[in-house]
Amino acid sequence: MFINCSETKTDQLYRLLIGSVVPRPIAWVSSVNDDGINNLAPFSFFNIFSVKPPMLGFAPGYKRPAAGSSLPVAKDTLVNVRACGEFVVNVVSQSLVEQMNQSSGEFENDISEFAVTGLTPQASTMIKPPRVAEALISMECKVFHIHELGGSALVLGEILCLHYADGVIGTDGLVDLDVLQPIGRLGGISYSTVKDRFDIERPTH
Ligand SMILES: Cc1cc2nc3c(=O)[nH]c(=O)nc-3n(C[C@H](O)[C@H](O)[C@H](O)COP(=O)(O)O)c2cc1C
C-alpha cells in the first residue's frame, strides 16, 4: 500500500504514524502554570537529540477545539513551558503506568494531575517545576527552543541535571533496565516493556 501524506486524513495518518514509529519512549512532563499549579502529562513524541549540550525534545499538540469553536488551544504543558521556560521529564516505570495514563486526561488548567493521581511533587534542584518523587529518573530542563509545527510544537530543552533513584545506576555505570522497567508506547492504546533484550557488537570500521 502506498500512502501519500498530503492526501490522507489527519486521523488516519496519526494512527499509521504512531503504529509505525515504535516503540516510543514517554516523556512524563511536569510543568507549572502562572498560578503555581503543577501540571503533569505524558508525551510519546519524544527523544534525546544531543549529549553536548544535553538536549531532548517532545511535541505537545493542541486540544480538540471546544464545541462551537474552531480556535486551537494549546495543551496546558505547552502553555506552561512557553511561559515558564522550564520543565521536568520524568521516566515512566511499569509500576507507574496507571498514574501515567490517568495524567493524560484533559483536565482544566486549574486542576493539578499530581492531586488527581496522588503522586508527590518533589521540589526540583535547579528549576521551578517539581519532579515526580515516585519516578526513578527525572531530568530538569530549560527551554532551548520551541519550533511551531502547526498542529503541535516541538519543544527542545537543555537537560540541566538528572536525578536517579538508588539502585537505578548499576555498578557498571549503566542504567539497570531490570530496576528501571521503562515502558514504551506503541500504536493505539498498546504499550511495551523492555524485558526481551539482546546485545550486538558494533562493526570495528
Ligand atoms: C502514552 C501517551 C503519550 C502521549 N503522547 C502525546 C504527544 O506526544 N503529544 C501530545 O500532544 N499528546 C500526547 N498524549 C496526550 C496528552 O498526554 C494529553 O492530551 C494530556 O491531556 C495533555 O495534558 P496537558 O493539557 O496537561 O498538557 C499522549 C498520551 C499518552 C497516554
Q: What is the pLDDT of residues 122-180, one digit of tens each?
A: 999 999 999 999 999 999 999 999 999 999 999 999 999 999 999 999 999 999 999 99
Residue 5 has pLDDT above 90, yes or no: yes
Q: What are the φ and ψ backbone dihedral angles of 193, each rounded to 5 degrees?
A: -105, 180
Beta-carbon count within 10 A of 24 CB: 18
Can you give the residue ranges of every domain in the chain? 24-188
> 3-state class of 13 per DSSP?
helix
- Residue-wise pLDDT for 41-63, tens only, equals 999 999 999 999 999 999 999 98
The secondary structure of residue 1, as a DSSP letter, is -
Ligand 1, atom 14, lies closest to the CA of 43
Ligand 1, atom 20, lies closest to the CA of 104
Place of cell 555498578: 171
The amino acid sitting at 35 is D
Cβ < 6 A, ligand 1 pocket: 26, 39, 41-45, 59-61, 75-77, 101, 104-106, 152, 185
- Residue-wise pLDDT for 94-104, tens only, equals 999 999 999 99
Average pLDDT over residues 109-116: 97
**40, 43, 64: residue to mutate for ligand 1 pocket, most atoms within 8 A of CB:** 43
Element (H, E) at 51: strand 46-51
Beta-carbon count within 10 A of 70 CB: 6
**28, 32, 39, 75: residue to mutate for ligand 1 pocket, most atoms within 8 A of CB:** 75
Three-point CA angle 65, 106, 17, nearest 5° = 75
CA of 196 to the centre of ligand 1 (A): 27
Question: Rounded to an integer, what distance in angstroms lies between the CA atom of residue 135 and that of residue 158?
Answer: 20
Topology (CATH) of 24-188? Pnp Oxidase; Chain A (2.30.110)
Q: What are the φ and ψ backbone dihedral angles of 48, each rounded to 5 degrees?
A: -95, 150
